[in-house]
Chains A and B, each alone.
Chain A
Amino acid sequence: MGTMRTVPDFSVVRSGHEVQIPEQVSVPWQGLHRAVSRAPTIPGPAPAGRGGAAPRMRSGAAAAPRHRRGGAAAAAPAGAAGGGGGRRGRKKMPGKLKVKIVAGRHLPVMDRASDLTDAFVEVKFGNTTFKTDVYPKSLNPQWNSEWFKFEVDDEELQDEPLQITVLDHDTYSANDAIGKVYIDIDPLLYSEAATVISGWFPIYDTIHGIRGEINVVVKVDLFNDLNRFRQSSCGVKFFCTTSIPKCYRAVVIHGFVEELVVNEDPEYQWIDRIRTPRASNEARQRLISLMSGELQRKIGLKVLEMRGNAVVGYLQCFDLEGESGLVVRAIGTACTLDKLSNTSAFLPACNSPSKEMKEIEEASPPGCGFCHIPYDELNMPFPAHLTYCYNCRKQKVPDVLFTTIDLPVEAIVVGKGCLIQARLCRLKKKAQAEANATSISNLLPFMEYEVHTQLMNKLKLRGMNALFGLRIQITVGENMLMGLASATGVYLAALPTPGGIQIAGKTPNDGTYEQHISHMQKKINDTIAKNKELYEINPPELPEEIIGSPIPEPRQRSRLLRSQSESSDEVTELDLSHGKKDAFVLEIDDTDAMEDVHSLLTDVPPPSGFYSCNTEIMPGINNWTPEIQMFTAVRVSRLSNINPTNQTLNKNFNDLCENLLKSLYFKLRSMVPCCLCHVNFTVALPEDELVQIAVTAVAITYDKNQALQANKAPTEKSQQRASTDNEEQLQFPLELCSDPLSSQPFSPAKEVLEGASSHTGIPAAQRATSVDYSSFADRCNSWIELIKLKAQTIRRGSIKTTTSLEKASPLAEGYLRHRSVPSCTNSTVSVVKMTPLSFLPGAKITKYLGIINMFFIRETTSLREEGGVSGFLHAFIAEVFAMVRAHVAALGGNAVVSYIMKQCVFMENPNKNQAQCLINVSGDAVIFVRESELEMLPVQPSAAAPQHTSSAGDVTT
């Protein structure tokens, strides 16, 4: 136990430095939390202007003792959201929670003598506990308990999980715990979500895993009238989905919300020295559950303050900071959502940014507007090579585009896309504190530059000109840094054809060397040609004279730039553009560079029948069939080199990723033809020489034969106009625009850009326009991406708001008439689909049931007996999936969308035969209906369809 307890320390380092989506956001907050925890008496922000009229707060004092667990210094900043001191004495009772324990099954044998179990159940909520009778001598007890009723206030309802403990009654000694079930009752608090939670839940024990199942029914009766209830944050809906959920429309997007709560980690309390690992794990699970509840409630309050009713793109993260505590933080975008079935807008779109954006939408031509540069051509923030848009011929486009967003639906793409990864390792000296920070800081710019170069090279090698869904993660370990960038490369019709890659040697007089160079050159050229064929990239040929445009030479421009922004440091010197368009020269000046060129060529394309991307949908494929397979793969590898160099590390890391991908393709070969979507790699460096890679993705099958047909007939109504236009333009792209710059295309965009002056990212007003990208700024961890994306995405955001409704699931909507999967009704367990995407192919999401946000700890002291580290983790991940599915099924759902495994912290101590793992997952529980089934019920679609189009029309026109 002792060693296991110390392991989590590494996460302190990680969360402090790892440049990763959530982590990066956390940096300023952590400072904040430390301030708070040192001075726990600091009252929450005064609830100015909302006290009297809207008495929505519980008293801060009532909340405080509950969070001041363990009595130590770091109490949660309770009352930060509340503080309405006048309400202190008043006992609120807005709800009654009712729980019924029906039965258990497949319980473990707890009494060796009889091979049976005398099970009973404790039901705990807040500080109240009820017990069922003991059901003697059975592994399948039928308790059929009465309704246990908890009278609770709404804060408790939001914060507390319902805790169900199954125990074995023992007359002579202490009762043995079999396991627990935590049920988040939050979904029962929205008026539109689930009304009852009922079903079989796995009974989970942190040491033994799942031990049987228990059937539970949970209901909430709310006493308040709806109005008053609305004043508490209970009614706020949460969505993990980063776009506007399918059955809603955004009336107003209010902006970014974030919150953080801190507590002492039970694992580091003095009591942990004397309690069992089980007790410690359970204390931790329960605490995190409580903290997430609290966090969600506080975010909900912020949303209400902004007059919103929902949070989209809710993302919650944990930091295990060892001795200094446990931090739970979350971000999201506050919105006012309107259910599509009641179309009457209940709020005037006062602050709606969508209104102004409409103009932009009209100004920019469909399909390529998002590619146009948002800058004044003579005042670019960085040098770029510009040409006239190959689509509209009116505005300027760069020759390459790196974006963190998904491919916009209206984008005109040639051929298919593909997953592109840049992988990089850098050795770092072991160091402490400031010295460590310095050495990391010194390495970072080089890593970022190199990652960027790799991405660019690999993009060109595939004959493509744009990256979407770019996600860069730089992981900091004790003795090395690892960078992994994933993106989906595509060929955008609006951008120029990328030139090839030219390699040049430094010593041209050496004959064999030159031969070698030319051999490499040939290999590169062959690879490009092969890739073009593989990804079906055959853009329409354009006569050369069209391309010629009065754009100043790149050099000139960069000089201009420098003169205007002298203050910017040396980084602007880096040439981020390709330089000349047609020849991208790689200079081979030393062995390193040679290695780099070699490594370029090692990426093996996926086997035939497979495509992969890290975006939600695969550009160029739109005839999905309903079969999906979500999976998580985890690998931990030991870098065995004694004296590693950057090159060997790079190679090892590269091999590790390539092998992992290969392994995925092999495993999923029975699904061919299929596409791996939303391929999400997470790298961690848990110890010296250990690299952990976790991949979550979804494999979706598609119909090869219908590919062409589907391409020709975009099914989405709102998209149709644009698409047909686009097609025409694709086929007749020769209309020349004589006066490209006269129409002042940049003026609206410029305004937006000027607004984005904040250094931290995009201010709320702008952020509000990009629902989908509430976290995009967090994603770009390098200044290069930040600059680029800020510009690109702000602009893109304008399109985004108007299209998010349709965009959300072009496939789901567009998919029609496919064979349905044979129903699995004869199975006793209902099937629950899981996907990291926000939609299900061939299906329509009819209801969002609430957010799933679960945190589990699993520990073992018999690692070998459980099949070693692989056996242990395999079982645990399977258990986590099972518990997610059970919760969704109990809510009445049949799928989880926007599923994400946010954390998978694995620690082992093989010498002691121990291992511990923490997993945090989240997603949206939904009900979906197959479109084939919708067709059979003519009433439903006819009711839903017009509403959908009308509301979509509201926004787009």
Chain B
Amino acid sequence: MSSDLDVFVGNTTLIDEEVYRLWLDGHSVAEAVARRLRGGVLEREGTSVAVLQSDTRDHYRTFQMLERLLHAPPRLLQQLLFQIPPERQALLIQRYYAFDEALARELLGKKLSKGTKKELDEVSARTGVGIRSCRRQFDNFKRVFKAVEELRGPLAENIQQLFLLPPALARDYAAIVFFANSRFETGKRRLQFLSFADFAACAQSLMGHWSQGALAPEAAEPDGDLPKSFLQDLKELKVLVADKDLLDQHKSLVCSALRGKISVHNELEANFKALSRALVNVGGKLTHARDVRDFFVDLVEKVIEPCRSDKWSPGDLRLFLTHYTAAPRNLPGFRHQALWERYMAAISACLLRMYHD
């Protein structure tokens, strides 16, 4: 006797967390049932496979109906079709928008386009995330990106408001949007040691220090774009390396301040000029979109790798950056102190975050 039709509808919508996870992971009903069986639910509840199948199908149907609403979380809160307690709604949203960091790392800086979506098969194979789950996560990224692309104000807050995500998750999405917008290169071999969390932290520092919103809350430009005028101004900082006197004075100020405080003082003295040039030039190049892409590559290649080969400890780097940033205050004739500190705050934060094996 086969059941053609089999539905269960509660006045309060039942959400089974385990089945939700299986659904999010992109398993088919049959796979989900198999996994639930392996989880030993049969023994615990003393039920039958048929019951489990029927239950799983019910939940899958519910999730499919909910998915449309999950695409715009505020609708989930306002809709009348499913009566779901608020804490359950929050859980649904949070789980739906949670992502695999490995996948997000792969997609960082890529254009969220159809082309990228087609490559998800490979990404799925590399990361071990199911292809259906990959597509869902990709669509989430794209949806969030599209929604906040044109909005003003702080990115993370906008995302939090539009998608009702927990703050940490909203910040991660802000990072993804920021990377997708600026198209930073993250896939190079020498950047492979950096995790999603590293990049997300960098994105937050960059947005936090450089974006318009960081200065004026009612900024005219979206947070995801770095303000053009600021990037233009960064060219002014080149004086620090172009002017030989300034460069020498800068070096002596930093070196004398750090004498005896860091273990790599000799290496610092030898490399200061190269380091300083690298640090200043990274900013100077940001007006050109193509150079923006290489931002992280440059930092790694020209700062992190030399330091690492000289065996700087993270503490050494921290001290160096602190003094390197502070020193120009005492440089005669340097008039861009505020700009310099705003610039270096983000760069320092990024470097410190990225400086690991």
Residues on A with C-beta less than 8 A from B48 are 659, 662
* Given A666-B47, A834-B11, CB of A879 within 8 Å of CB of B81: yes
Residues 20-42 of B, flagged 1 when their CB comes within 8 A of A and 0 if not, give: 00000000000000000000000
Does A520 sit within 8 A of B, measured CB to CB? no
Which single member of A210, A665, A869, A873 contacts B80 (CB below 8 Å)? Answer: A210
- Of A185-193, A335-343, A637-645, A852-860, the stretch lying at the interface with chain B is A637-645
- Tell me which residues from 643 to 677 in chain A have a Cβ below 8 Å from any Cβ of chain B: 652, 655-656, 659, 662-667, 669-670
Does A50 sit within 8 A of B, measured CB to CB? no
- Whether B86 lies near A827 (C-beta < 8 A) is yes
- Whether B57 lies near A870 (C-beta < 8 A) is yes
B103 to chain A, nearest CB (A): 28
Question: For the complex, what is the distance from the CA of A202 to the CA of B82, rounded to whole Å?
Answer: 12
Interface size on A, residues (CB 8 A): 58
- Whether A878 lies near B2 (C-beta < 8 A) is no
A168 to chain B, nearest CB (A): 20
Residues on A with C-beta less than 8 A from B64 are 867, 871
- Whether A828 lies near B78 (C-beta < 8 A) is yes
- Whether A662 lies near B47 (C-beta < 8 A) is yes
* Given A105-B78, A106-B78, CB of A874 within 8 Å of CB of B9: yes
Residues on B with C-beta less than 8 A from A870 are 5-7, 57, 61
Does B75 sit within 8 A of A, measured CB to CB? yes
- Whether B1 lies near A832 (C-beta < 8 A) is no
Does A729 sit within 8 A of B, measured CB to CB? no
Does A630 sit within 8 A of B, measured CB to CB? yes
Chain B contact residues, majority secondary structure: mixed
Which single member of B4, B10, B13, B83 contacts A869 (CB below 8 Å)? Answer: B4
- Of A412-420, A473-481, A880-888, the stretch lying at the interface with chain B is A880-888
- Whether B51 lies near A637 (C-beta < 8 A) is no
* Given A213-B80, A663-B51, A881-B9, CB of A636 within 8 Å of CB of B3: yes
- Whether A666 lies near B7 (C-beta < 8 A) is no
Question: For the complex, what is the distance from the CA of A912 to the CA of B12, rounded to whole Å?
Answer: 33
Question: For the complex, what is the distance from the CA of A867 to the CA of B65, rounded to whole Å?
Answer: 10
Q: Which residue of B lies closest to A881 (CB)?
A: B11
- Whether A656 lies near B1 (C-beta < 8 A) is yes
Does B139 sit within 8 A of A, measured CB to CB? no
Residues on A with C-beta less than 8 A from B58 are 667, 874
- Tell me which residues from 186 to 207 in chain B have a Cβ below 8 Å from any Cβ of chain A: none
Does A126 sit within 8 A of B, measured CB to CB? no
Does B243 sit within 8 A of A, measured CB to CB? no
Does A833 sit within 8 A of B, measured CB to CB? yes
Does A928 sit within 8 A of B, measured CB to CB? no
Question: For the complex, what is the distance from the CA of A637 to the CA of B8, rounded to whole Å?
Answer: 15
Q: Which residue of A lies closest to B8 (CB)?
A: A633
- Whether A878 lies near B65 (C-beta < 8 A) is yes
Does B55 sit within 8 A of A, measured CB to CB? yes
Q: Which residue of A lies closest to B81 (CB)?
A: A882
- Whether A659 lies near B51 (C-beta < 8 A) is yes
- Whether A828 lies near B77 (C-beta < 8 A) is yes
- Whether A636 lies near B45 (C-beta < 8 A) is no
- Whether B3 lies near A635 (C-beta < 8 A) is yes
Residues 280-310 of B, flagged 1 when their CB comes within 8 A of A and 0 if not, give: 0000000000000000000000000000000
* Given A663-B54, A666-B51, A878-B65, CB of A630 within 8 Å of CB of B10: yes
* Given A656-B1, A829-B80, CB of A635 within 8 Å of CB of B86: no
Does A839 sit within 8 A of B, measured CB to CB? no
Residues on A with C-beta less than 8 A from B8 are 631-633, 663-664, 667
A480 to chain B, nearest CB (A): 14
- Whether B51 lies near A630 (C-beta < 8 A) is no
- Whether A607 lies near B1 (C-beta < 8 A) is no
Does B266 sit within 8 A of A, measured CB to CB? no
- Whether A878 lies near B5 (C-beta < 8 A) is no
- Of the listed residues A210, A824, A832, A881, the one surrounded by the most CB atoms of chain B closer than 10 A to its CB is A881
Residues 59-78 of B, flagged 1 when their CB comes within 8 A of A and 0 if not, give: 00110110000000001011
- Tell me which residues from 105 to 141 in chain A have a Cβ below 8 Å from any Cβ of chain B: 105-106
Question: For the complex, what is the distance from the CA of A45 to the CA of B1, rounded to whole Å?
Answer: 53
* Given A662-B48, A829-B78, A867-B61, CB of A874 within 8 Å of CB of B7: yes
- Of the listed residues B10, B14, B55, B65, the one surrounded by the most CB atoms of chain A closer than 10 A to its CB is B10
Question: For the complex, what is the distance from the CA of A879 to the CA of B13, rounded to whole Å?
Answer: 12
Residues on A with C-beta less than 8 A from B86 are 824, 826-827
Residues on A with C-beta less than 8 A from B6 are 634-636, 870
* Given A636-B5, A637-B4, A867-B64, CB of A630 within 8 Å of CB of B46: no
Q: Which residue of B lies closest to A200 (CB)?
A: B80
* Given A637-B1, A869-B5, A871-B61, CB of A667 within 8 Å of CB of B55: yes
- Whether A629 lies near B4 (C-beta < 8 A) is no
- Whether A833 lies near B7 (C-beta < 8 A) is no
A749 to chain B, nearest CB (A): 42
Question: For the complex, what is the distance from the CA of A848 to the CA of B2, rounded to whole Å?
Answer: 44
Residues on A with C-beta less than 8 A from B13 are 878
B307 to chain A, nearest CB (A): 49
Does A222 sit within 8 A of B, measured CB to CB? no
B182 to chain A, nearest CB (A): 28
Does B79 sit within 8 A of A, measured CB to CB? yes
Residues 202-214 of A, flagged 1 when their CB comes within 8 A of B and 0 if not, give: 1000000010010
Question: For the complex, what is the distance from the CA of A692 to the CA of B61, rounded to whole Å?
Answer: 20
- Tell me which residues from 849 to 907 in chain A have a Cβ below 8 Å from any Cβ of chain B: 867, 869-871, 873-875, 877-879, 881-883, 885-886, 906
Question: For the complex, what is the distance from the CA of A330 to the CA of B13, rounded to whole Å?
Answer: 32
- Whether B1 lies near A655 (C-beta < 8 A) is yes
Does A710 sit within 8 A of B, measured CB to CB? no
- Whether B2 lies near A638 (C-beta < 8 A) is yes
- Whether B46 lies near A631 (C-beta < 8 A) is no
Does A600 sit within 8 A of B, measured CB to CB? no
Does A306 sit within 8 A of B, measured CB to CB? no
- Whether B7 lies near A877 (C-beta < 8 A) is yes
B33 to chain A, nearest CB (A): 13
Question: For the complex, what is the distance from the CA of A873 to the CA of B78, rounded to whole Å?
Answer: 23
Residues on A with C-beta less than 8 A from B315 are none
- Whether A878 lies near B82 (C-beta < 8 A) is yes
B241 to chain A, nearest CB (A): 51
- Whether A885 lies near B55 (C-beta < 8 A) is no
* Given A634-B5, A824-B86, A878-B65, CB of A667 within 8 Å of CB of B78: no
Which positions in A face B, CB cutoff 8 Å?
Answer: 105-106, 200, 202, 210, 213, 607, 629-640, 652, 655-656, 659, 662-667, 669-670, 690, 692, 824, 826-829, 831-834, 867, 869-871, 873-875, 877-879, 881-883, 885-886, 906
Can you show 17 pairs from A to B with CB atoms below 8 A apart? A106-B79, A210-B80, A607-B45, A634-B6, A637-B3, A638-B2, A639-B1, A663-B54, A666-B47, A827-B77, A829-B83, A867-B64, A870-B7, A878-B9, A878-B82, A881-B83, A885-B80
Query: What would 15 more interface pairs be, CB under 8 Å, given A210-B80, A827-B89?
Result: A630-B10, A631-B9, A631-B11, A633-B9, A637-B2, A637-B4, A640-B1, A656-B1, A659-B48, A663-B8, A663-B51, A829-B79, A829-B80, A831-B85, A886-B80
